[in-house]
Amino acid sequence: MKVIKFGGSSLANATQLRKVFNIVKSDSSRKIVVVSAPGKRSSDDEKVTDLLIQLATSHIEGNYDEEVLKKILVRYKEISDELELKPEVFELVRIHFKNLKERNDLSSEYLMDAYKASGEDLNARLIASYFNQEGLAAKYVGPREAKLWVSDTPGEARVLEESYHELEYLQLTNEVIVFPGFYGVTKEGKIVTFSRGGSDITGSILANAVNADEYENFTDVDAIYVASPKIVHKPLPIDVLSYTEMRELSYAGFSVFHTEALLPSIKKGIPVHVCNTNNPEASGTYIMKGKVTSPNVISGIASSPGFVSIYVKKYLMNHEIGFLRKVLTIFEEEGISIEHIPTGIDDATIIIRGEDATDEQLESIVERFYAELDVDEASFTRGLCLIMLVGEGMVNMVGTTARVASTLARTQINIELYNQGVSEVSMMFGILDQYEKKAIRALYDEFFGEEKEYQVVE
């Protein structure tokens, strides 16, 4: 049995939905179909989820925006009409929003999630009707009836362990199940969504629960590429990646597959297959258990700008027991999550994501370092870009760091910091944000340029 998930761009209009239908119909093992909300039809279009957030915000702020509601209704109406669905199907959409508008029993964060979840929920109902109309026996099953239980953390749901057992029965289905992605239900019955892009997580949870042979994740690219196609012209596709490599790459900006979605599949060793709805014949990318060494030393190069480095220096820091703990406690008290901490003998650099702290918060942290820890120097700098080179093959090769460093030096880019764990699956370089594209292109040429394409790992 396969669990198959379609992203928003695969479900944006009736043309896309016809492709989805053909893909599902062409393989009888595709029994559980997880769907996103309708996405963008073109690059300047709006995603239904974004519209729902606008609508929810207007409702919460007491100035309900009828114009946004209209845009959402038009999206579903167009799809229903083009697919020639029975009028009842669209009627359900209209009634759903009418009821939601009248809800006054939910606090704002739960109301927001109820709106956000509508995008996938209504789409799943609509798609189930469409499949049946086309002669494919299908039914809508949602998180409430199937008991996909999640934590009571609006916008950041985590699946509860017992859900896996509850969802297991879905494997007995004869009909195709169309399941809305992106949300679950708390034990108290409230709708709570995963983080953005979270339909991938739903698919992975279901794949785990029903012990799927494969989790197919259909999106709008032929494969995951070794570098971002937004930066490198026609980068090479990746055939196979290990779970660890994918985790490292998505940490640093590879957004094809949601980072949190890997875990449920990892637990059961279920292969994740990233495929293209617009080109289902393309071989796609497999994300698998174990070590898969690519013919190149490096499997992928990712980059993520906008980090902040907070520098702290104190003479004889290495002798002062508990110093780093005190530094970290200050971040914990300020509620800021830390990403990396490269250290020297007398200094440490704490790296955080730019969006996690305001300048005021950072200034206050620096002041606390002086006041509470008696440091010699403390400061913060925004605009750090982390470049991650990932590859299980690196451990077998000597000189990869040197190649990276000399490529950056040749390109006149200064390395602000460097970090590599002993597992050697990835190495991380910090450079200034403005050099991101230049660095990625130079590194791509170094590791994947034509003459290096077939380099063999010793």
Site for ligand ASP in 250-309 (CB under 6 A): none
Site for ligand ASP in 194-213 (CB under 6 A): 196-200
Taking CB under 6 A as the rule, does residue 181 contact ligand ASP? yes
Taking CB under 6 A as the rule, does residue 41 contact ligand ASP? no
Q: Whole-number minimum distance, CB 188 to ligand ASP, in Å? A: 23
Q: Whole-number minimum distance, CB 373 to ligand ASP, in Å? A: 40
Cα dihedral 298, 453, 403, 294 in deg (nearest 10): 20
- Whichever of 34 and 301 has its CB closer to ligand ASP, that residue is 34
Q: Which residues pair with 300 in a beta bridge?
A: 390
Residue type, position 40, single letter: K
User: What's the CA gap between 72 and 94, in Å, rounded?
Assistant: 10
- Whichever of 257 and 448 has its CB closer to ligand ASP, that residue is 257
Q: Whole-number minimum distance, CB 256 to ligand ASP, in Å? A: 12
User: What's the CA gap between 123 and 187, in Å, rounded?
Assistant: 24
User: In the stretch 17-36, what mask flags binding to ligand ASP with x, by CB under 6 A?
Assistant: -------------------x
Q: Is 8 annotated as a binding residue?
A: yes
Number of residues that bind ligand ASP (CB under 6 A): 14
Transcribe 202-264 into DSSP letters. Answer: HHHHHHHHTT-SEEEEEESSSSEESS-TTTSSSPPEESEEEHHHHHHHHHTT--SS-GGGHHH
Q: Is 220 annotated as a binding residue?
A: yes
User: What's the CA gap between 223 and 256, in Å, rounded?
Assistant: 9
Q: Which residues pair with 4 in a beta bridge?
A: 33, 216
Site for ligand ASP in 80-139 (CB under 6 A): 119
- Whichever of 51 and 384 has its CB closer to ligand ASP, that residue is 51
Secondary structure of residue 451 in the 3-state scheme: helix
Instruction: Kindly state the tokens that stand for 36.
Output: 């996103």
Q: Is 225 annotated as a binding residue?
A: yes
Element (H, E) at 427: strand 426-432
Q: Of the ranges 57-65, 148-156, 193-201, 368-376, which one interacts with ligand ASP (CB under 6 A)?
A: 193-201
8 Å CB contact between 313 and 346:
yes
User: In the stretch 339-378, what mask flags binding to ligand ASP with x, by CB under 6 A?
Assistant: ----------------------------------------
Which candidate, 458, 450, 443, places its Cα nearest to that of 299?
443
Q: Is 49 annotated as a binding residue?
A: yes
Q: Which residues pair with 350 in a beta bridge?
A: 310
Q: Is 5 annotated as a binding residue?
A: yes
Q: Of the ranges 11-19, 21-29, 85-93, 190-198, which one interacts with ligand ASP (CB under 6 A)?
A: 190-198
Transcribe 378-405 into DSSP letters. Answer: EEEEEEEEEEEEE-GGGGG-SSHHHHHH
Taking CB under 6 A as the rule, does residue 37 contact ligand ASP? yes
User: What's the CA gap between 269 and 170, in Å, rounded?
Assistant: 19
- Whichever of 47 and 314 has its CB closer to ligand ASP, that residue is 47
Q: Is 293 annotated as a binding residue?
A: no
- Whichever of 36 and 186 has its CB closer to ligand ASP, that residue is 36
Q: Is 244 annotated as a binding residue?
A: no
Cβ-Cβ contacts under 8 Å for 234 (sequence gap 6 or more): none
Which of left, alpha, beta for 182 (phi over 0: left; psi -120 to 50: alpha)? left
Give the residue, chosen from 47, 247, 314, 368, that forms a contact with ligand ASP under the rule CB under 6 A: 47
Q: Whole-number minimum distance, CB 442 to ligand ASP, in Å? A: 33
Q: Is 120 annotated as a binding residue?
A: yes
- Whichever of 119 and 284 has its CB closer to ligand ASP, that residue is 119
Annotated binding site for substrate: 49, 120
Residues making up the annotated binding site for ATP are 5-8, 219-220, 225
Instruction: Could you list the residues known to form a binding site, using ranges.
Output: 5-8, 49, 120, 219-220, 225
| Interaction site with ligand ASP (CB under 6 A) | 7-8, 36-37, 47, 49, 119, 181-182, 196-200
